[in-house]
């Protein structure tokens, strides 16, 4: 395994999606339209996004011994992802996500983690060599926190770049933040981590400063089509996004992170890497579904050439 490999430690789900006129309120039934199933899960989405963007990717994940798990692994193989570190769970089913997608592209998601909840630090230790020999570790918070902690510990001990997408939003210990090279929260996740509501550029900058105090080196606070605050200890810049007609925002953040990892692995400037990631995410929101929406490298390059 070369040092240009991106190792993703994270979840794999099957998404069940219903298009609805609007997201149902508590106790409300909304008659929907189109139903579809698609491969998803934050870890899997990021792995596929990185692979389609041109990266060499290895995924450490856990799926059930069921049809969903088998289909997921076969799909990863089609995307040239190294799957030999995906383990099977004979006690829990593969993860499932139920997703409502409104007419404006907004979504509401409930997840039954299944085998994802059984991805343990022991699995990380089993594949520690792959993490130590990679160039970048990319991870999220859809698997047990202790597993994420162990993965970042192994990567940090080897001096690897660590990208943490702190999603779904939850508090994390300072020891984790201190290991992170690049933290990529959206505004909700940034507020959970810092206690600072993100309402404008000033509050985003204040949240970034708070995260620097916790030990993070680079903070990228993503704000959808509005762009992102890209902050280092030396400077803070606003990176504009791309305005497109959104059909489904599911997995847009995952696509951003996977593409970002690829661009950074190619040793491009941080600003260029963020622009590349924005382009990939913008393309994805014009399509329905998580992994079906993820663009390939040629599409991203062509999109950037037009913009």
Active site residues: 254
CA distance 179 to 155: 9
Q: Tokens for 146?
A: 């202790």
For residue 77, count CB atoms less than 10 angstroms from its CB and return exposed for 0-12, middle for 13-18, buried for 19 or more: exposed
N-terminal to C-terminal alpha carbon distance within the chain: 35
Order the strands of the 107-112 sheet from edge to edge. 35-40, 13-19, 95-101, 107-112
By CB atoms closer than 10 A (0-12, 13-18, 19+), residue 280 is buried
Say if residues 61 and 45 touch (Cβ distance below 8 Å). no
């Amino acid at each position: 395994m070369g040092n240009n490999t991106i190792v993703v430690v994270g979840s794999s789900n099957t998404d069940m999606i219903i298009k609805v006129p609007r997201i149902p309120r508590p106790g409300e039934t909304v008659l929907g339209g189109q139903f579809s199933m698609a491969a998803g899960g934050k870890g899997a989405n990021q792995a596929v996004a990185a692979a389609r963007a041109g990266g060499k990717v290895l995924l450490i994940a856990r799926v059930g011994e069921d049809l969903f798990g088998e289909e997921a692994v076969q799909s990863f193989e089609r995307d040239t992802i190294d799957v030999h570190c995906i383990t099977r769970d004979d006690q829990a089913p593969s993860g499932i996500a139920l997703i409502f997608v409104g007419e404006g592209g907004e979504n509401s998601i409930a997840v039954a983690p299944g085998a994802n909840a059984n991805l343990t630090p022991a699995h990380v230790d089993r594949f520690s060599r792959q993490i130590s020999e990679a160039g970048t570790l990319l991870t999220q918070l859809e698997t047990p926190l202790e597993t994420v902690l162990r993965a970042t510990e192994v990567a940090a001990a080897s001096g690897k770049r660590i990208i943490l997408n702190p999603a779904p939003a939850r508090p994390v210990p300072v020891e984790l933040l201190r290991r992170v090279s690049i933290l990529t929260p959206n505004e909700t996740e940034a507020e959970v981590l810092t206690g600072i509501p993100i309402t404008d550029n000033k509050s985003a900058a204040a949240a970034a400063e708070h995260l620097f105090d916790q030990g993070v080196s680079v903070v990228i606070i993503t704000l959808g089509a509005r762009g992102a605050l890209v902050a280092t200890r030396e400077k803070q810049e606003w990176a504009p996004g791309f305005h497109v007609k959104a059909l489904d925002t599911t997995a847009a953040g995952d696509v951003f992170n996977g593409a970002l990892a690829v661009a950074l692995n190619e040793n491009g400037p941080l600003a260029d890497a963020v622009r590349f990631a924005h382009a990939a995410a913008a393309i994805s929101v014009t399509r329905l579904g998580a992994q079906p929406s993820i663009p390939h490298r040629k599409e991203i390059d062509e999109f950037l050439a037009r913009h």
